[in-house]
Amino acid sequence: MTVTADISTLWHNVARLLDYAPDSPMLFSSGTFWALFLVFMPVYALLRNRLWYMLTFVVAFSLYFYYKSSGWFVLLLGATSLIDWSVSRLMSRTGVRWKRRTLATVSIVLSLSVLGYFKYANFFLWNWNRMVEGNFQPLDIILPVGISFYTFQSISYVVDVYKGRVSATTTWLEYVFFLSFFPALVAGPIVRADYFIPQIRANYHANRTELFAALWMIIVGVLKKAVIADYIAQYNDLIFANPTGYSGFESLMGVVGYTMQIYCDFSGYSDMAIGLALIMGFKLSRNFDFPYKSKNLTEFWRRWHISLSSWLRDYVYIPLGGNRRGTARTYLNNFLTMLIGGLWHGAAWKFVFWGAMHGLGLAVHKATMPLTRRLPDAWWVKAAGWTVTMLYVSLLWVFFRADSWLDSWLIIKNIFTNFSLSYVAPFVSVRWMWLIMMTVIIAAHALPSRIVDAAGTAFVKSWWVVKLLIFLITVQLVLEFAGEDVAPFIYFQF
Amino acid sequence: MHTILNHSHSLLKRSYISLWLLLLVAFGLVAAVSCFDEVKVGGHSFKTASFFDELTNRDPWIVDTLPVPVDTGMLDSVPPAPRFPVPVDTASKTILFFGDSMLEGLSPRLAAYCEENGHTLYTVIWYSSTTQVWGDCDTLSTFIRRFKPDYVVACLGANELFVRDIAKKREKPMQHILDQIGERPLLWIGPPNWKEDTGINDFLADRLDEGVFFLSNGMSFDRKKDGAHPTSASAALWMDSVVMWMPDHALYPIRLDLPSKAKGRPARVTLLQPLK
């Protein structure tokens, strides 16, 4: 082993690593973030008891973190925070209802307009061209990372101030801290003002148990995202890139693989975000609760991307009337809410369809509840419910992932018309590592919660050296399975 | 002030220092080990982090801001002409053209040549792919089994222009690619450098037989906005250059008379998404 070094480029490379690079956003699982967090931690701990210093420091770090991923769109984030905060201050100073409502409306329309421009303008143009045979060229628009997440946070703040759920005495610094809080900035969980802002002044210090529980969450998150999701994605991508190029069995494995990939990718990111926040003494609500254990679609949406589904419930479903306007209207509200949820995921008809089908599924589940409630509380009923739910959810992931409608149908058709068990043996011999990864995550997902919790507790109680060893093994696993390119989180694009 | 410092100190000591030290020690170990390309324990090689390489590598952006050493090795990378001209094979061929996104520009022009000369072209574009990507799997074998080509054309290397120690890192995957191609005649079109590479062209020239590798480095291209991919017209000229080079230099020259059409359509184009 020989080591040769050319350190003449050291400072240039450090500067390059710290500069905005459009093709390599700063991920929590990257070495650059790790190094920066090592600097961040002691400074944060020293400033923790001096609120305004701490706020300034964390906001500066968060804005830099956003700059590293999105460049000068950081100014857009700053402008959004300034406008919404100003509007909320104005709202708090007037007791006239119509003025408050107008201000809230202006703020929400502004936020949605910005989101609409960056995310949906080209979708609109595409549809317009199709409808009127126009030839408007697509706009050269770059979608700022995480804009959907912080826009929803900002809207929830304005609505909460309007409704009096949050005090508008919050300073701009506190508000921008809430909006730009780096653990949740680019891909959630969507933080709610009424839950988060009171924590800022509470000055809570994570205790030793919480700190290492946070480290455990980060380790689990890294394993899910950077090891499992990124690895199984390699095979899944092949299937979705060439829908007719593989047998029905291989296509089926690709669909099952993507079902687990998107869970590991997004829940892994959420675990890391929640763990990082907890190290700083902030508690973010749980974003995933073993969603693939769900025995019906309603339960699935209570376990999957909880921060989004609860946001949609509180700011879309309930304002639409929720379940207060009769059965038919309840189903319609469910459907519309999920339709918006689908569109939130991306500017394409496939996301609209995905959301609509989930809305339809929720409506069907609610409509059949009087019948299903009469069924016995037996294992086979639960198994049947779980099977139907998983089939439906997995099937819809095909439309979510595939590049086009045609590709979606081809993959599904391929599974049903080109299926042969003769492919099982060669598949096992060639894709054995993919199968091991899938087995590990499915087994971990199927374990009772108490066992998963016990593993976390055992880690927290273990010796420092054991923790270090586990952390190093995690890092080595990431290195062993990593590709050469950075694999961004799937949810970055939303 | 003293109280604040004391409090901060106890806070650090009480809650954070243990965790911070753990992260610091782990980082130090990983960074130290990253000085080595790999670590072997009991016959197994473990990968190391890229910290060291990232902090000490010279490419790609600082090339413009630092003095570039005089490159005296250029001529070594130019493949010499074969020892004797090889007769052109005039039979119709089934050609498999595989590689990275550079095929987007090359393939339509090669398809035009194929249509003119009675060859059948199958194109497989794997976006962002490298010799490592193709060499770490059996995808190439799958396409060879499916299309049964009797001539293979590759264009790979553009996504690994700046990989350090390329020969060491790509030896195994490259061998696997060549094993999959087997005895089939091969033509490998080198990457259209936009900066000086760290060894991919030398590596390809070294690993491929004389008359198999076409060195594209040194050619002039009109580039697309990304600064890397040649424009459609420039890529067509690039393909023309390859065809003109073949009769006198290629180990396996085939009939490729100038087509009447500027672009053609391969019999089938397969697009593979990037691995991640």
Residue at A315 is within a domain: no
Residues B183 and B217 in one domain: yes
Contact between chains at B12 and A42 (C-beta distance less than 8 A): yes
Residue in this structure with the two tokens 């020259």, named with its chain if needed: B253
Residue A244: CB atoms within 10 A of its CB come to 12
Residue of B nearest to A234 (CA): B275
Q: What integer pLDDT is reported at residue B4 of this predicted model?
A: 47
Residue at A61 is within a domain: yes
Residues A185 and A212 in one domain: no
Range scoring the smallest mean pLDDT among A164-178, A296-310, B9-23: B9-23
Range scoring the smallest mean pLDDT among A180-184, A479-483, B150-154, B192-196: A479-483
Residue at B73 is within a domain: no
- Smallest CA–CA distance, residue A133 to chain B, in Å, is 27
> What tokens appear for B11 in the block?
């806070």
CATH of the domain at B259: 3.40.50.1110
Which residues from chain A sit within 8 angstroms of residue B58, using beta carbons?
6, 9
Which residues from chain A sit within 8 angstroms of residue B128, using beta carbons?
485
Summary mean pLDDT of chain A: 86
Contact between chains at B22 and A471 (C-beta distance less than 8 A): yes
- Among the ranges A375-384, B74-83, B224-233, B264-273, which has the highest mean pLDDT value? A375-384
Range scoring the smallest mean pLDDT among A201-210, A283-292, B77-86: B77-86
Q: How far apart are CA A51 and CA A72, in angstroms?
A: 27
Q: How far apart are CA A169 and CA A164, in angstroms?
A: 11
Contact between chains at A49 and B7 (C-beta distance less than 8 A): yes
Residue at B68 is within a domain: no
Residues A259 and A383 in one domain: yes
Mutate to test the interface with B, among A6, A485, A490 (most CBs of B within 10 A): A485
Residues B125 and B225 in one domain: yes
What is residue B51's three-state secondary structure?
A: helix
Q: What pTM was estimated for this model as a whole?
A: 0.70
Residues B51 and B83 in one domain: no
Tens of pLDDT, residue by residue over B73-129, are 334 444 555 455 678 888 889 999 999 989 988 999 999 999 999 999 999 988 888
Residue at A353 is within a domain: no
Residues B209 and B254 in one domain: yes
Contact between chains at A6 and B270 (C-beta distance less than 8 A): no
Mutate to test the interface with B, among A41, A203, A489 (most CBs of B within 10 A): A41
Residue at B70 is within a domain: no
The last residue of one of the domains, among A202, A226, A249, is: A202
Alpha carbon dihedral A60, A63, A64, A65, in 10-degree steps, equals: 120
Is the confidence at residue A287, as pLDDT, over 60?
Answer: yes
DSSP state letters, B126-143: ETT--HHHHHTSSHHHHH
Contact between chains at A45 and B15 (C-beta distance less than 8 A): yes
Residues B200 and B248 in one domain: yes
Residue B46: CB atoms within 10 A of its CB come to 13
Residue A255: band (very low, low, confident or very high) from pLDDT cuts 50, 70, 90: very high
Residue at B61 is within a domain: no
Q: Which residue among A305, A345, A358, A365 is the active-site one? A: A345
Domain count, chain B: 2
Residues 6+ apart with CB under 8 A from B231: B105, B221, B222, B223, B224
CA B42 to chain centre: 32
Contact between chains at B62 and A7 (C-beta distance less than 8 A): no
Residues A427 and A461 in one domain: yes
CA distances from B79 to A303, A351, B190, B210 (A): 61, 51, 11, 7
Closest C-alpha among A19, A17, A28, A344 to residue A182: A28
- Asked whether this complex has an ipTM greater than 0.90, the answer is no
Tens of pLDDT, residue by residue over A368-400, are 988 888 888 888 999 999 999 999 999 999 999
| Cβ-contact A479, B47 below 8 angstroms | yes
The last residue of one of the domains, among A136, A170, A202, is: A202
92-131 in chain B: CB under 8 A from chain A: 128, 130
Residue A428: CB atoms within 10 A of its CB come to 11
Tens of pLDDT, residue by residue over B30-65, are 888 887 767 777 777 777 777 766 666 544 333 333
Peptide bond into A138 cis (omega under 30): no
Q: Which domain holds residue A86?
A: 32-202
Residues B11 and B140 in one domain: no
Residue A411: CB atoms within 10 A of its CB come to 25
Q: How far apart are CA B163 and CA B148, in angstroms?
A: 33
One-letter identity of residue A95:
G
Residues A198 and A214 in one domain: no
Residues B108 and B167 in one domain: yes
Q: What integer pLDDT is reported at residue A181 of this predicted model?
A: 93
Range scoring the smallest mean pLDDT among A177-191, A236-250, B6-20, B54-68: B54-68
Residue at B69 is within a domain: no
Which residues from chain A sit within 8 angstroms of residue B158, using beta carbons?
none
Higher pLDDT, B59 or A212: A212
Residue at A311 is within a domain: no
Q: What integer pLDDT is reported at residue B162 of this predicted model?
A: 76
Residue of A nearest to B165 (CA): A4
Residues B91 and B29 in one domain: no
Contact between chains at A479 and B46 (C-beta distance less than 8 A): yes
| Cβ-contact A91, A101 below 8 angstroms | no
N-to-C CA span, chain A: 45
Residues B89 and B24 in one domain: no
Q: What integer pLDDT is reported at residue A141 of this predicted model?
A: 67
Q: What is the 3-state secondary structure (H, E, C) of chain A?
A: CCCCCCHHHHHHHHHHHHCCCCCCCCCCCCHHHHHHHHHHHHHHHHHCCCHHHHHHHHHHHHHHHHHHHHHHHHHHHHHHHHHHHHHHHHHHHCCCHHHHHHHHHHHHHHHHHHHHHHHHHHHHHHHHHHHHCCCCCCCCCCCCCCHHHHHHHHHHHHHHHHHCCCCCCCCHHHHHHHHHCHHHHCCCCCCCHHHHHHHHHHCCCCCHHHHHHHHHHHHHHHHHHHHHHHHHHHHHHHHHHCCCCCCHHHHHHHHHHHHHHHHHHHHHHHHHHHHHHHHCCCCCCCCCCCHHHCCCHHHHHHHCCHHHHHHHHHHHHCCCCCCCCCHHHHHHHHHHHHHHHHHHHCCCHHHHHHHHHHHHHHHHHHHHHHHHCCCCCCHHHHHHHHHHHHHHHHHHHHHHHCCCHHHHHHHHHHHHHCCCHHHHHHHHHHCHHHHHHHHHHHHHHHCCHHHHHHHHHHHHHCCHHHHHHHHHHHHHHHHHHCCCCCCCCHHHHC
Range scoring the smallest mean pLDDT among A21-35, A87-101, B241-255: A21-35
Rounded mean pLDDT of A39-67?
91
Q: What are phi and psi of A136, to 5 degrees?
A: -65, 130
Higher pLDDT, A158 or A4: A158
252-271 in chain B: CB under 8 A from chain A: 270-271
Q: Is B22 on the interface with A (CB under 8 A)?
A: yes
Residues B90 and B36 in one domain: no
Residues A261 and A189 in one domain: no
Residue at B63 is within a domain: no
Rounded mean pLDDT of A8-20?
71
CA distances from A449 to A240, A380, A470 (A): 33, 21, 21
Q: Is A345 a catalytic residue?
A: yes
- Smallest CA–CA distance, residue A188 to chain B, in Å, is 21
Residues A134 and A257 in one domain: no
Residue of B nearest to A233 (CA): B276
Q: What are phi and psi of B268, to 5 degrees?
A: -160, 140
Q: Which domain holds residue B143?
A: 79-272
**Segments in B200-275 forming alpha helices (H):** 200-207, 232-249
The size of the A-B interface in CB pairs under 8 A is 142
Q: What integer pLDDT is reported at residue B64 of this predicted model?
A: 38
Is the confidence at residue A486, as pLDDT, over 50?
Answer: no
Higher pLDDT, A320 or B228: A320
Residues A184 and A217 in one domain: no
DSSP state letters, B52-96: HHHHH---SGGGGTSPPPP---HHHHSPPPPSS--PPB-S--EEE
Residues A386 and A474 in one domain: yes
Higher pLDDT, B175 or A14: B175
Which residues from chain A sit within 8 angstroms of residue B170, using beta carbons?
none
- Smallest CA–CA distance, residue B125 to chain A, in Å, is 11
Residue at A321 is within a domain: no
Residues 6+ apart with CB under 8 A from A193: A153, A156, A157, A160, A161, A165, A166, A178
Q: What integer pLDDT is reported at residue B76 of this predicted model?
A: 43
Rounded mean pLDDT of A155-175?
84
Q: What integer pLDDT is reported at residue A374 of this predicted model?
A: 86
Q: Is B276 on the interface with A (CB under 8 A)?
A: yes
Residues A241 and A176 in one domain: no
Residue B144: band (very low, low, confident or very high) from pLDDT cuts 50, 70, 90: very high
Residues 6+ apart with CB under 8 A from A334: A317, A359, A362, A363, A366
Q: Is B220 on the interface with A (CB under 8 A)?
A: no
DSSP 8-state symbol, B112 = H
Is the confidence at residue B207, as pLDDT, over 70?
Answer: yes
Residue at A337 is within a domain: no
Residue at A327 is within a domain: no
Which residues from chain A sit within 8 angstroms of residue B37, using beta carbons?
1
Rounded mean pLDDT of A428-432?
79
Residue at A298 is within a domain: no
Tens of pLDDT, residue by residue over B151-186, are 999 999 988 887 777 888 899 999 999 999 999 999
b/e per residue, B24-37, with b = 16+ CB within 10 A? Answer: eebbeebbebbbeb
Of A37, A233, A238, the CB nearest to B272: A238
Is the confidence at residue A341, as pLDDT, over 70?
Answer: yes
| Cβ-contact B56, A13 below 8 angstroms | yes
| Cβ-contact B123, B149 below 8 angstroms | no
Residues 6+ apart with CB under 8 A from A118: A141, A142, A143, A144, A147
What is residue B15's three-state secondary structure?
A: helix
Residues A188 and A231 in one domain: no
Range scoring the smallest mean pLDDT among A479-483, B82-86, B237-241: B82-86
Residues A262 and A388 in one domain: yes
Greatest alpha-carbon span in chain A: 76
Helix (H) or strand (E) holding B154: strand B151-155
Q: Is B244 on the interface with A (CB under 8 A)?
A: no
Rounded mean pLDDT of A171-178?
90
Which residues from chain B sit within 8 angstroms of residue A480, using beta carbons?
46-47
CA distances from A261 to A227, A267, B164 (A): 11, 10, 31
What is residue B146's three-state secondary structure?
A: helix
The last residue of one of the domains, among A202, A218, A250, is: A202
| Cβ-contact B214, B240 below 8 angstroms | no
Domain count, chain A: 2
Contact between chains at B55 and A14 (C-beta distance less than 8 A): yes
Residues B111 and B213 in one domain: yes
Residue of B nearest to A8 (CA): B56
Residues A283 and A172 in one domain: no
Q: How far apart are CA A444 and CA A452, in angstroms?
A: 8
Residues B134 and B222 in one domain: yes
